[in-house]
Amino acid sequence: MSADVKDDNERKDLDLSFLERQPVRAAEIPNLNERGERTEERDPRRGNQQDAKTLTVGRDISLNGDITECDTLVVEGRIDATLNSARALEVARGGRFVGIASVETALISGRFDGDLDVARALRITATGKVTGNVSYGRLEIEQGGEVLGDIKINA
């Protein structure tokens, strides 16, 4: 019983002064204004670049739908979607993209099935496989990589 009495005494000495402090105002939190809305704050290391909007679909995750307002899409799981006007698409080894994608650059190490329009550079690694309608500005295929379907160079 003496141990129980000791524990009760220690609990009485706890500092609970934090409960009396005023809550933090939204304006004191970085990237929030007085109304609690996000504000743009640039990282000095990144110069004038806007924050990249990256979506990563992890392993064992499936996603269906239209993807908009995405700068970079990384696919490690499976995605059935339409991706328009993105800067970069990366299908990792073991990942799979089924659908339509229009991007500036693409790196395919997994599988892509559908229509792929790459304005600049398309790179297919040794483990990558692209099936469908493909258009590109520049194409690089590592030994072992595959492309099946209609292929054309963007003019």
The residue extents of the domains of the chain are 48-153
Taking every pair of Cα atoms in the chain, the longest distance, rounded to a whole number of angstroms, is 86
Which residues lie across from 116 on neighbouring strands? 101, 134
Q: What is the pLDDT of residue 34?
A: 55
Per-10-residue mean pLDDT, the chain, length 155? 53 64 53 54 44 86 92 96 94 97 96 97 96 96 96 89
Q: What is the pLDDT of residue 85?
A: 86
Q: What is the pLDDT of residue 42?
A: 46
Other beta carbons within 10 Å of 124: 23
* Residue linked to tokens 């970069």: 88
Q: What is the pLDDT of residue 48?
A: 40
Q: What is the pLDDT of residue 49?
A: 45
- What's the CA gap between 102 and 81, in Å, rounded? 11
Q: What is the pLDDT of residue 44?
A: 42
Q: What is the pLDDT of residue 27?
A: 46
